[in-house]
């Protein structure tokens, strides 16, 4: 059945009331029955919940084959915890039929690919899927199609009971003996623990893994002891060098800077650019550099940013300290400046993934967002964006908060070079739709700006400001004239991944790629 972005969704996926994507805000006003976890009572006072090993913790919470384990990705590519827990469960306890529901998976989790090939891990639910896991899932080796969700779609699915978490594992930079966790104060600091919060509230069991035990009470706690069954102290939960980079540097690439300046010009041309506006940007080259140019326009007009959200990094913290932004609320920190600022710099707060982006709650932060600046692997002439699959059809990306912020914001700007090597970033049809075109408003490339025809108001803003813009079709034609018209990818029937829209409908599927033989 074809959905609202023209993707053919196989019928076998449309059972138990599952629908295809119908367009933005389709679920608005509908009711949701929230699921509740079945949790164990610890009525008798416990002096401490510390157990000797991960296996002991798993035994205590009754880990069995067939269970769903959840993880969060604040330790990013430095994470050791997913691998440690999977090794304990699969190799030491002999469990199988395991589903991993993680907020994101990357190269750090390459060992999990072997468990997939061995048939021990049979389900993957995640936002990011990269490295070897992406390769084996793309090769059709996972028993069930992987489910890819946005950062807002995941807490929605958890709250709706579509994902039932048997055991949530919290990788905690610091914890006390009963499981009050924080992302700071230890040796593997990550700042915000926003993605772990919903998991901890909705999982039947919660295990905290930490490498820095601190005195009780570890306050203010991101994950609270009232939800925690057991605490395990290990030597190291991650490689700090890969958890947070020293400082996200602003690009010096003149092409990135030119695009960033145009992003700032677009923002400054709209009526939303006024005292107290709100903003989110990614950490990619041109997206991050947009901060710099935006500041110039803010000074010129004598206005300040009201608040910023997102994955946060140094340049935004810098603006907070200078008083140019009122509040910064974040779900994840990308560099040490941000890690060291959260809950320390006045006005820098932590939030949960649900508070950030969940479309089924009563109003996430993304819904109040004026501007978001995002990157793309590909964008097609229908303004549909792909940030998941490479041009070879292999899973190697992450929707993250992309679809959530695009849908929630008043003005969503995609910034990307027209071509990358031989790949046309602006194309006729993206490989996979991860953010639907009806949520994307403006495209800024190094060859020109295009505005979504769904937004005549923004077209007028650019015209009034004297900002030249062209059609997205002309950008696509320019791209193809440089790199040649790409052949369509060829697929087998087998579905290897299902891409859920943030509201729970099906936006697209990824099939097994058929390699080209010359």
Partner 1 sequence: MIIEKSAVAGTLESSDAQVTVEPAENGIELEISSSVMNQYGRQIKATVLETLDRLDVKNGRVTVVDKGALDCTLKARVECAVFRSCGQSDKNLPWGGAVK
- 139 contacts partner 1 (rule: CB under 8 A): no
- 131 contacts partner 1 (rule: CB under 8 A): no
- 389 contacts partner 1 (rule: CB under 8 A): no
How many residues lie near partner 1 (CB under 8 A)? 17
Closest CB 511 distance from partner 1, rounded Å: 13
Closest CB 424 distance from partner 1, rounded Å: 9
Exposed, middle or buried by CB within 10 Å (0-12, 13-18, 19+), for 481? exposed
Closest CB 287 distance from partner 1, rounded Å: 21
C-beta of residue 410 within 8 angstroms of C-beta of residue 371: yes
C-alpha angle 360-197-204 in degrees, rounded to nearest 5: 90
- 490 contacts partner 1 (rule: CB under 8 A): yes
Nearer to partner 1, 66 or 484 (CB): 484
Closest CB 259 distance from partner 1, rounded Å: 19
- Report in angstroms the alpha-carbon separations of 238 from 47, 70, 72, 210, 334: 28, 17, 13, 10, 15
- 494 contacts partner 1 (rule: CB under 8 A): no
- 143 contacts partner 1 (rule: CB under 8 A): no
Among 391, 425, 476, 505, binds partner 1 (CB under 8 A): 391
Contacts (CB under 8 A) with partner 1, residues 421-460: 421-423
The span from the CA of 463 to the CA of 261, in Å, is: 17
The span from the CA of 194 to the CA of 416, in Å, is: 28
Contacts (CB under 8 A) with partner 1, residues 393-412: 393
- 351 contacts partner 1 (rule: CB under 8 A): no
Work out the number of other CB atoms within 10 angstroms of the CB of residue 119: 12
Nearer to partner 1, 337 or 380 (CB): 380
- 219 contacts partner 1 (rule: CB under 8 A): no
Among 487, 492, 510, 511, binds partner 1 (CB under 8 A): 487
Can you list the pairs that 115-122 forms with residues at least 24 positions away whose Cβ atoms lie under 8 Å? 115/86, 115/90, 116/141, 116/142, 117/141, 119/143, 120/90, 120/95, 120/96, 121/86, 121/90, 122/96, 122/97, 122/98
Nearer to partner 1, 242 or 478 (CB): 478
Nearer to partner 1, 22 or 481 (CB): 481
Nearer to partner 1, 219 or 518 (CB): 518
Stretch that binds partner 1, among 81-89, 115-123, 249-257, 418-426 (CB under 8 A): 418-426
Nearer to partner 1, 461 or 497 (CB): 497
Among 36, 463, 482, 492, binds partner 1 (CB under 8 A): 482
Stretch that binds partner 1, among 43-51, 213-221, 336-344, 386-394 (CB under 8 A): 386-394
Closest CB 289 distance from partner 1, rounded Å: 22
Phi/psi for 378 (5° steps) reads -145, 150
- 11 contacts partner 1 (rule: CB under 8 A): no
Closest CB 26 distance from partner 1, rounded Å: 33
Structure tokens belonging to residue 342: 């959260």
Stretch that binds partner 1, among 43-51, 143-151, 367-375, 480-488 (CB under 8 A): 480-488
The span from the CA of 8 to the CA of 318, in Å, is: 46
The span from the CA of 351 to the CA of 346, in Å, is: 15
Stretch that binds partner 1, among 13-21, 176-184, 278-286, 483-491 (CB under 8 A): 483-491
Stretch that binds partner 1, among 101-109, 291-299, 389-397, 470-478 (CB under 8 A): 389-397
Phi/psi for 333 (5° steps) reads -115, 135
The span from the CA of 487 to the CA of 299, in Å, is: 48
Among 56, 343, 489, 512, binds partner 1 (CB under 8 A): 489
- 486 contacts partner 1 (rule: CB under 8 A): yes
Stretch that binds partner 1, among 58-66, 207-215, 388-396, 410-418 (CB under 8 A): 388-396
Closest CB 436 distance from partner 1, rounded Å: 23
Closest CB 487 distance from partner 1, rounded Å: 5
CB proximity list for 331: less than 8 A, separation 6 or greater:
151, 192, 194, 195, 309, 310, 311, 350, 351, 352, 353, 355, 356, 357, 401
- 92 contacts partner 1 (rule: CB under 8 A): no
Exposed, middle or buried by CB within 10 Å (0-12, 13-18, 19+), for 110? middle
CB proximity list for 472: less than 8 A, separation 6 or greater:
379, 381, 383, 426, 443, 450, 452
- Report in angstroms the alpha-carbon separations of 210 from 12, 224, 233, 357: 42, 14, 5, 27
- 140 contacts partner 1 (rule: CB under 8 A): no
The span from the CA of 442 to the CA of 453, in Å, is: 9
3-state secondary structure of 413: strand
Among 346, 484, 492, 494, binds partner 1 (CB under 8 A): 484
C-beta of residue 201 within 8 angstroms of C-beta of residue 165: no
The DSSP line for 226-277 is GG-SEEEE-S-SB-HHHHSBS-PPPP--HHHHHHHHHHHHHHHHSTT-STTE
- 513 contacts partner 1 (rule: CB under 8 A): yes
The span from the CA of 312 to the CA of 33, in Å, is: 33
Closest CB 421 distance from partner 1, rounded Å: 4
CA 60 to chain centre: 31
The footprint of partner 1 (CB under 8 A) covers 391-393, 421-423, 482-484, 486-487, 489-490, 513, 515-516, 518
């Amino acid at each position: 059945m074809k959905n609202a972005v023209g993707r053919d969704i196989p019928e076998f996926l449309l059972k138990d009331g599952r629908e295809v994507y119908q367009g933005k805000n389709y679920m608005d006003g509908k009711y949701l029955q929230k699921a509740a976890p079945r949790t164990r009572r610890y009525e008798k006072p416990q002096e401490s919940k510390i157990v000797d090993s991960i296996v002991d913790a798993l035994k205590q919470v009754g880990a069995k084959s067939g269970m769903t384990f959840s993880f969060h990705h604040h330790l990013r590519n430095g994470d050791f915890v997913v691998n440690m827990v999977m090794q304990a469960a699969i190799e030491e306890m002999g469990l199988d039929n395991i589903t991993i529901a993680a907020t994101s998976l990357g190269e750090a989790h390459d060992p999990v690919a072997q468990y997939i090939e061995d048939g021990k891990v049979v389900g993957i639910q995640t936002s990011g899927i990269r490295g070897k896991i992406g390769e084996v899932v793309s090769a059709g080796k996972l028993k069930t199609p992987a489910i890819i969700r946005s950062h807002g779609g995941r807490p929605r699915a958890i709250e709706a009971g579509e994902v039932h978490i048997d055991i949530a594992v919290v990788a905690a930079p610091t914890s006390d003996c009963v499981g009050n966790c924080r992302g700071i104060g230890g040796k593997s600091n990550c700042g915000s623990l926003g993605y772990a919060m919903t998991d901890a509230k909705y999982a039947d069991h919660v295990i905290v893994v930490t490498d820095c035990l601190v005195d009780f009470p570890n306050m203010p706690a991101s994950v609270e002891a009232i939800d925690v069954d057991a605490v395990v102290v290990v030597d190291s939960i991650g490689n700090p060098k890969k958890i947070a980079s020293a400082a996200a540097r602003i690009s010096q690439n003149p092409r990135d800077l030119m695009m960033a300046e145009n992003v700032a010009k677009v923002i400054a041309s709209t009526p939303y650019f006024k005292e107290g506006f709100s903003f989110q940007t990614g950490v990619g080259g041109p997206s991050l550099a947009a901060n710099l140019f935006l500041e110039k326009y803010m000074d010129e007009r004598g206005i300040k940013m009201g608040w910023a959200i997102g994955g946060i990094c140094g340049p935004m913290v810098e603006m907070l300290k200078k008083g140019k932004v009122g509040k910064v609320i974040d779900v994840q920190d990308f560099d040490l400046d941000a890690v060291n600022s959260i809950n320390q710099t006045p006005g820098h707060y932590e939030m949960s993934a649900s508070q950030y982006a969940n479309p089924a709650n009563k109003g996430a932060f993304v819904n109040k967002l004026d501007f978001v600046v995002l990157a793309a692997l590909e964008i097609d002439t229908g303004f549909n964006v792909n940030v998941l699959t490479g041009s070879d059809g292999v899973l190697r990306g992450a929707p993250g908060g992309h679809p959530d912020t695009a849908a929630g914001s008043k003005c969503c700007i995609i910034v990307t070079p027209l071509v990358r090597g031989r790949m046309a970033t602006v194309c006729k049809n993206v490989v996979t739709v991860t953010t639907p075109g009806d949520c994307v408003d403006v495209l800024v490339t190094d060859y020109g700006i295009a505005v979504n025809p769904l937004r005549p108001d923004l077209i007028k803003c650019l015209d009034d400001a004297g900002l030249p813009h062209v059609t997205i079709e002309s950008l696509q034609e320019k791209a193809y004239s440089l790199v040649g018209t790409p052949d369509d990818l060829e697929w087998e029937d087998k579905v290897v991944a299902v891409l859920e829209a943030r509201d729970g409908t099906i936006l697209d599927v990824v099939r097994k790629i058929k390699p080209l033989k010359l």
